[in-house]
Structure 1
C-alpha cells in the first residue's frame, strides 16, 4: 500500500467522524499545549536572565572583593587579614593581566541626596572612568567621570535618570549643585536609563556616581577599594583571567589570598541549571495530559478496529497484506496526533504569550517577561505527538493486521 494513499484514506476516515476525532485528539491538544507553554516559560526565563547579565556587563564579567566577616570554627568573626584592596591593585590588574580587557574600582552604599530642599535616598557608587566600559553602561547626557576627576579628588557626580526626574524635574542638571550626605557636588552627566530589572527593591536608575578618590577623601578617610569589577577579553578567557588576577593580587599582598572572587559565567550556569530543572518538572507534569490523550487514542482506535472488521476482512480477501493494514491504522493514529499537536502548538504559544503579557502587566514597574517559542520546543512537540501516535496506535494496528477474512465473516 502506498504511503500517500494511506494518508488520504486516513484523512477521509477522520473527516467522516469529526466529533469523535476532535474529542479523541483533545487530550493531545492539551498535553502539547502544556509542554509548549512550559518550554516557553523556561526559554523566557533564560532570555530574561541573559538580559540581566548583559546589564551588568555580560558573561565575561567577574569581580574581586574582601569579606568583612568570615566563618571559622562554626563562628562568624571579622576578617583578621591586614590586607585590603587598593587602587594600586586595580592598576596592576589592568597592566599585568593579558586576559583582562578592563578593571575598575567599585565601592559605595546608601546616600541621602538633596536639591533645593527636595530629598531622596539613593545608592552611591564610587568608581572610575573605566566603569562605564566594564558595565557597558554610558552617560546619556553630559559626561562620565574622568581620570582628571580622580587625580584632583573633584567633587563631581553623574546621576541616574530616576534622580534626574525626581530632584531636577527633568530640567537640565549639568552644572547644578546636589548634596550627597550634606557634601556639595556638581552634576556633570546623566546615565542612560536601565530600569529596575529583577530587583523590585531598587533601580539601576536610582544611583549616583562619584570619583572613588573623592569618596575615600571626603566620606571614608582611607584608601581602600571595596570591590574590583573586571571584564575578561571574552567569555572563553574568564578562567585564565581569574588565575592571572589572583596571581597579581597575592604577589602584591605578601602571598595572602585575603580576597574572594565571583564569576558571572559560573553564576549564569548555575541559574540556567535551576531553570532547566524547573522547566523539566513542569514539562513532565504537562506531559501527564499527553499520556492521557494517548490512552484516549488507544481506546478510540480499538473501537475503530472493531467497527471496521468487515472492511478489514474484505481487504484481506482481495489480497491486502497484514503490513498494509497495520500501516493504515498507524497512519490514522499518527495523523490524529499530529493534527492535535499542531493545534496544541498554537494554543501553547498563545498561553505562553498570555503568561508573558500578564507578568509584564502586573510587574511592569520592574520586569518585562519575554514570550519565547523556540524551534527546539516546536520540534519536541511534533516528535512527542508523532511518538504518542505510534506508541498508542501500534497495538490497535497490530490487532487489525492479525484479523482474517474468516474473523470478519464470524463478526458479521
Structure 2
C-alpha cells in the first residue's frame, strides 16, 4: 500500500469521528499557539535590546566624575567635576584600543523658535561625540574647526526638537534661542529612539563644547576645560575588558590617585551592561517557550490516548485488513499517519492562532513582538515530531495484533 492511499484511509478515519479529532487536536493547537506567541514576544524583547545597543553606539564606555566629600558629607557620583578635555585627549593618545574619546557637557534649557518653545537637553560636544555614539546626520553638516574653537553659535537638533519647534518645516538655517542666546541650526540628527531607561534620545540640542561652556553653562574660573562626561569608543575587535583597565589606569595616573584610594571617577562599560541585559532577555524568551511547550506535551499525551482508544475500537477492522493481505508495516504506517495528521493539522491551526495572538499582544499591550519564519518551521517540525513520538506506541500495538484474535474481538 502506497503512502497516498494510507493518507486517504487515515483522513477518512479521522473524518468519521470529527468531534473527537477536533478535541484531540485542541491540545496541539493551544500548545503551538502558545509557543509561537511566547517566542514572538521573547524575540521582540531581544530585538528591542539590540536596537538599544545600536542606538547607544558599539563598544562604548562612559567616564563620569566621581564623588567628593564636603564638610564630612560624601556627595553622590558626579559631584566632583574633575574631568577635562585633556583627559579625553590623553586616552586617545596613550591607549591604542581607543578609537575616540569624546568630552561633553550637558544641561537642560528652554529652546525658543518663533512662537514655539520647548524644554530639551543641551549638549556641548565636538564631532567625536557623534562618532562615539554612531549618530549620523539626517541633513545639514557637523561643526567646523573654526566653529569649535571660536564658540560659534551654531547647533544640531534631534528629531523630537525639530518636530516640536518646526513641525514639517525644514529647520536647517533657522534660528533658535537657548537661554536667550541666538543660535543657527546647521544640522538635524538621525532618529535614535528611546534609550534603555526609556528616555527620548532625540529630544536634544547639540552645540560646540566651547560654546556650551562659555555662553550657556557658565565660565567658572579655574574650570575652563572641565567636562561632564567622556564617551570612549573602543576599536572594533579590541578587548573591551583590557581597554577598560587601560582607561582606568591612565585616569588614575592623571588624577594622581594613590593605590589605596578608590577611583576619582566612575567608569561604566555600556557594552557589558547591555550584553547582560540581552542575555537575560534571551533566557526569558527560552523560559517562556519552555513553559508554553508543556501544553504541547499535554497535547501529545492526548493524541496517544485517543489513538489507543481508536486501536481498541477498530480491532476487528485491523483483523479483517490483515486477513485480506495487509502487512504489519501497513497497519503501523496507517495509524502513524493518523497521529501525524492530527498533530500537523493542529500545528497549522496553532500557527495561525499564534500569529494572531502575537499581533493582538503587540496592538493592545504595546509589547514589541517579532514573528520569525524559524519559529514557524520549528513549530511545524515539533508538531510532526510529537505525532510520531506519541503515535508510535499505539501504531505499533495495532500492527502486532494477531489476525485471529483481532477477528474474535468483541
**SS of aligned partner of 1:98:** coil
What root-mean-square deviation, in Å, do the aligned CA atoms of Structure 1 and Structure 2 show? 3.3
Which residue of structure 2 lines up, in the alignment, with residue 211 of structure 1?
208
Which residue of structure 2 lines up, in the alignment, with residue 157 of structure 1?
155
Which residue of structure 2 lines up, in the alignment, with residue 61 of structure 1?
60
**Equivalent residues in 2 for 1:13-412, closer than 5 Å:** 13-58=13-58, 60-68=59-67, 77-78=75-76, 84-116=82-114, 118-168=116-166, 170-171=168-169, 173-182=171-180, 184-194=181-191, 196-197=193-194, 202-218=199-215, 219-220=217-218, 221=220, 222=223, 223-234=225-236, 237-254=239-256, 257-317=263-323, 322=328, 325-358=331-364, 369=368, 371-375=370-374, 377-412=375-410
Where does the alignment leave 5 or more consecutive residues of structure 1 unmatched? 364-368
In 1, Cα distance between equivalents of 2:145 and 2:324: 93
How far 1:161 moved relative to its partner? Answer: 3.1
Which residue of structure 2 lines up, in the alignment, with residue 366 of structure 1?
none
After superposition, the Cα gap between the structure-2 partners of 1:301 and 1:205, relative to the gap in structure 1 and judged at 3 Å, is: same
How far 1:208 moved relative to its partner? Answer: 0.8
In 2, Cα distance between equivalents of 1:201 and 1:341: 38
**SS of aligned partner of 2:201:** coil
In 2, Cα distance between equivalents of 1:403 and 1:6: 19
How far 1:234 moved relative to its partner? Answer: 1.8
Where does the alignment leave 5 or more consecutive residues of structure 2 unmatched? none
How far 1:197 moved relative to its partner? Answer: 2.7
1:70-129, Cα deviation, whole Å (9 max, x unpaired): 9xxxx9645699782211121122233222222211221321223446432111111111
Is the 2:56–2:195 contact (alpha carbons within 8 Å) kept by the matching residues of 1? no
How far 1:315 moved relative to its partner? Answer: 4.1
In 2, Cα distance between equivalents of 1:359 and 1:397: 44
Is the 2:50–2:278 contact (alpha carbons within 8 Å) kept by the matching residues of 1? no
1:226-270, Cα deviation, whole Å (9 max, x unpaired): 211122222554334323323332332325633332223322322
After superposition, the Cα gap between the structure-2 partners of 1:68 and 1:194, relative to the gap in structure 1 and judged at 3 Å, is: farther
After superposition, the Cα gap between the structure-2 partners of 1:333 and 1:168, relative to the gap in structure 1 and judged at 3 Å, is: closer
In 2, Cα distance between equivalents of 1:81 and 1:351: 49
Range 12-21 or range 96-105, more displaced: 12-21
**SS of aligned partner of 1:310:** helix
**SS of aligned partner of 1:65:** strand
Is the 2:172–2:185 contact (alpha carbons within 8 Å) kept by the matching residues of 1? yes
After superposition, the Cα gap between the structure-2 partners of 1:263 and 1:80, relative to the gap in structure 1 and judged at 3 Å, is: closer
In 2, Cα distance between equivalents of 1:165 and 1:236: 39
How far 1:133 moved relative to its partner? Answer: 1.9
After superposition, the Cα gap between the structure-2 partners of 1:353 and 1:171, relative to the gap in structure 1 and judged at 3 Å, is: closer
How far 1:169 moved relative to its partner? Answer: 5.2
